[in-house]
Structure 1
Amino acid sequence: MSEKVEEKISGELNEENTQNETTAENKNLEEELKKAKIEIESLMDSWARERAEFQNFKRRASMDYINSKKEAIKNFVVKLLTPLDDLERVGMGESIVEEAKPFVEGVNLIKRELFSVLERENIRKVEPKGEVFDPMCMEAIALEESGDFTEERVLEVYQSGYEMTLENNEKVTLRPSRVKVGRPIN
């Protein structure tokens, strides 16, 4: 064969080999690209899960903080209720000795200030006299049946209840009102 034919054949073979190598390299690159895309997808999925988990953690931590704050306030105020009841009884007698009047006025001033502080903290005294009896926030300690009643109503309040209103307007009973209930005769 002539040298020109050999060069031509050799050139064609080199070209075929180069094409085969290029095709093989392309296949390798395509496989690496597929692997990289799968890894990216996996990492994105993992990142999204971690982000959602963190958001849930933040929400739970916030709720735990709010609940613990609510419980701390509730526990503190409940401890103050009995002394507040005692302050309310001061000066309730009909006859007060003249020398004791300034003392009683001072106690009443302190009592008003304490109730003002409770009000600012969204804690209010519950006086349900005349209202429909609600066992969720009232404790019946006496009962009177009569044909005059059409439904259970509070006739008398023996001990005032207290409730706290939270930021979301949920009401929490700190102490139920102790009441006498009027009930219709069955």
Structure 2
Amino acid sequence: MENNHKDTAEFEEMNDTVQEEAAQAEHLENSNAQGDEDQAAESSEPVVEDSRIAQLEASLSETENRLLRVQADFENFKRRTREDQAAQLKYKSQSLITQLLPALDNFERAMDVKVEDAQASSVLQGVEMVYRQLLEAMKSEGLEVIESEGAAFDPNLHQAVMQVQDEEYESNVIVETLQKGYKLKDRVIRPAMVKVNQ
């Protein structure tokens, strides 16, 4: 019986050892499985982080491009505004000069009148003096007379109202100026009305 008891004690001890080893193996297996899950989670986190970083970089790049376009548009706007202001300043007197051109024409017609007595002659001299002063004031603002007679016809500067055939002139040459044309700086404000040789 003592042997039987001894065998039972050994058996129980062996059973305890086997159970401990089984528990350790199970614990080790569980910790390996947990480690695999942690490792899988850790390995998926960088993938998620990498895709998020790529999204943020793409968004940043798009925002930077948009900012550059807005800056370029603003610079173009400022340049156009400066050009418009310069043009307005350059041609600020155009409206007034355009309104005064008929007065210049009337002065020229008055000066073309032939006078015979002294009183009319002195009035004509006064008209000529006023005409010259007005013309000089307008020239100081940039007004230029378009030269026409004897020049080649230029549709940008001249308006042909008549055509003639004259052997003395070459073809497409202006024979006579019917009404003077004017430029303000480099802009034609009234083309010259002319007769052109065919």
TM-score (norm 2): 0.66
Amino acid at match of 1:117: A
Amino acid at match of 1:32: R
2:163/2:196 contact within 8 Å kept: yes
Cα distance, 1:3–1:182 mapped onto 2, change above 3 Å: closer
Cα distance, 1:92–1:26 mapped onto 2, change above 3 Å: same
2:91/2:184 contact within 8 Å kept: no
Deviation readout 1:128-162 (Å, 9 max, x if unpaired): 11112233322334443134433122222222111
Q: Which of structures 1 and 2 has the bigger CA Rg?
A: 2
* Aligned residues with identical type, % of pairs: 22
**Distance in structure 2 (CA, Å) of the matches to 1:49 and 1:150:** 56
SS at match of 2:52: helix
More deviation, 7-16/135-144: 7-16
Which of 135, 138, 146 aligns to 2:155? It is: 135
Which of 47, 50, 63 aligns to 1:27? It is: 47
Which of 129, 137, 141 aligns to 1:121? It is: 141
Q: CA deviation at 1:18?
A: 4.8
- The structure whose residues are more often strand, as a share, is 1
Structure 1 residues without counterparts, runs of 5 or longer: 167-171
Q: CA RMSD in A?
A: 3.6
Matched, 1:51 2:96: no
| Structure of higher RCO (CA pairs closer than 8 Å, 6+ residues apart) | 1
**Distance in structure 2 (CA, Å) of the matches to 1:158 and 1:126:** 12
- The structure whose residues are more often helix, as a share, is 2
Q: How many residues are treated as equivalent by the alignment?
A: 178
2:178 corresponds to which residue?
Answer: 158
Structure 2 residues without counterparts, runs of 5 or longer: 1-20
**Distance in structure 2 (CA, Å) of the matches to 1:48 and 1:107:** 62
**Distance in structure 2 (CA, Å) of the matches to 1:141 and 1:5:** 114
Q: CA deviation at 1:75?
A: 3.7
**Distance in structure 2 (CA, Å) of the matches to 1:39 and 1:182:** 70
Matched, 1:176 2:196: no
Please give the residue correspondences for 1:56-95 in structure 2 after superposition, counting only pairs within 5 Å: 56-62=76-82, 65=85, 73-95=93-115
Deviation readout 1:154-176 (Å, 9 max, x if unpaired): 2222221111234xxxxx32122
